[in-house]
């Protein structure tokens, strides 16, 4: 059995979909469906069971989970980078993850978990090393603290444990995320509703819409998760990005070409994001490649085409 936490969410549901494609249906999805629209991500998938995240945490704390899975793919988290309730963020992203990790280590179950490029924050060097970790918000800090906890245990870990630092992931099955949807989905909605993509004016030394991020298609993120969840004895924290920074203008232009029309409008940079915004990210993939993952990542244009094809199917 596979356990997929956050399995009704964006990345998690894509992981379950790919497991189904590979012939696996013995899957326990763990999530929080207080927002019931997330259930649509599970409606077309085959799973063995569903469990609320609070019940799952209670079972972990009591040591009475009731089964031993083949592998754990942990994507459950609060991913709202604008969340200011630090207590809530730390319990979700640090407390739950720590409980799951220690149970997995005790029962020798491989675990792959989602970290984040937000751990780098203000840094301009994106090698996964402590010297580069400067988170700008409590979300980034919650992910970093768990990474640090994993590192402290690493010399004693005897089973596969891999953290994947997600960069800007986009693709199908993220419509439920609202304001936390990827830039691609936000700009697509803006084009369809008003005919214009709204991008930030120049900031951080970058021109209008020329802030650059490492945008990575969710299919590549899924492949990384399953590569480490079903592979050999891997231990470490690796970047999960394409390795190529592209501008927000590039996404808008690709969408405009696809839809056959539209325009770009530049809006003032929000005061609330001053000092909290990453104007540049680009995954350093050297340690990932050294760990044996050699597949090429989709280009931005390839990933956008794949996403739109699925959304329009």
Is residue 199 one of the residues assigned to a domain? no
For residue range 94-124, list pLDDT tens digits in order. 999 999 999 999 999 999 999 999 999 989 9
Is the confidence at residue 5, as pLDDT, over 90?
yes
CATH number at residue 236: 3.40.50.720
Q: What does the pLDDT read at residue 313? A: 72
| 77: three-class secondary structure by DSSP | coil
Whether the predicted model's global pTM rises above the 0.85 cut = yes
Beta strands in the chain (DSSP E): 2-5, 27-31, 49-52, 71-74, 111-116, 161-166, 168-170, 196-200, 212-217, 235-240, 245-247, 263-267
- Computed over every residue of the chain, the mean pLDDT equals 95
**pLDDT exceeds cutoff 80 at 275:** no
Any idea which residue has 């012939």 for tokens? 23
The answer to whether residue 311 is domain-embedded is no
List 161's β-bridge partners, or say none: 111, 235
Q: What is the pLDDT of residues 162-192, one digit of tens each?
A: 999 999 999 999 988 887 889 999 999 999 9
pLDDT at 35: 85
- pLDDT tens digits along 34-64: 988 899 999 999 999 999 999 999 999 999 9
Instruction: Give the pLDDT score at 155.
Output: 95
**241 within 8 A of 283, measured Cβ to Cβ:** yes
Four-point Cα dihedral 94, 123, 203, 164, nearest 10 = -50
Residue 292 domain-assigned (yes or no)? yes
Is residue 161 domain-resident? yes
Task: Report the number of distinct structural domains present in the chain.
Answer: 1
Q: Does 272 map to a domain?
A: no
Whether 307 is covered by a domain: the verdict is no
Structural domain including 16 reads 2-169+217-243+283-297
Whether 141 maps to a domain, the answer reads yes
- Residue 80 included in any domain: yes
State how far the alpha carbon of 13 is from the alpha carbons of 4, 45, 55, 137, in Å: 9, 8, 20, 26
Closest CA to 229 of 114, 103, 94: 114
User: Which string of b and e fits 118-129 if b means at least 16 CB within 10 Å?
Assistant: bbbbebeebebe
Instruction: Give the active site residues.
Output: 139, 177
């Amino acid at each position: 059995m596979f356990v997929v936490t956050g399995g009704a969410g964006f990345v998690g549901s894509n992981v379950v979909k790919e497991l189904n494609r590979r012939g696996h249906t013995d899957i326990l999805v763990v999530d929080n469906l207080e927002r019931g629209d997330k259930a649509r991500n599970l409606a077309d998938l085959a799973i063995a069971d569903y469990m609320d995240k609070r019940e799952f945490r209670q079972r972990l704390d009591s040591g009475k989970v009731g089964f031993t899975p083949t592998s754990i793919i942990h994507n459950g988290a609060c991913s709202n980078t604008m969340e200011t309730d630090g207590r809530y963020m730390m319990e979700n992203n640090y407390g739950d993850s720590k409980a799951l990790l220690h149970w997995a280590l005790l029962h020798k179950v491989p675990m792959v978990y989602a970290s984040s490029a937000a751990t780098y924050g203000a840094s301009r060097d994106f090698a996964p090393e402590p010297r580069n970790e400067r988170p700008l918000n409590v979300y980034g800090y919650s992910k970093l603290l768990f990474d640090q906890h994993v590192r402290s245990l690493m010399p004693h870990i005897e089973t596969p444990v891999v953290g994947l630092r997600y960069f800007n992931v986009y693709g199908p099955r993220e419509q439920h995320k609202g304001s936390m949807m990827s830039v691609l989905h936000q700009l697509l909605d803006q084009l369809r509703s008003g005919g214009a993509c709204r991008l930030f004016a120049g900031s951080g030394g970058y021109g209008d819409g020329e802030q650059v991020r490492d945008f990575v298609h969710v299919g590549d993120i899924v492949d990384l998760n399953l590569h480490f969840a079903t592979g050999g004895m891997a231990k470490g924290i690796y970047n999960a990005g394409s390795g190529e920074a592209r501008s927000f203008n590039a996404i808008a232009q690709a969408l405009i070409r696809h839809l056959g029309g539209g325009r770009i409008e530049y809006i003032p940079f929000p005061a609330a994001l001053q000092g909290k915004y990453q104007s540049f990210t680009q995954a350093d993939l050297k340690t990932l490649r050294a760990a044996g993952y050699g597949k090429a990542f989709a280009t931005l244009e390839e990933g956008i085409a794949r996403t739109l094809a699925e959304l329009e199917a």
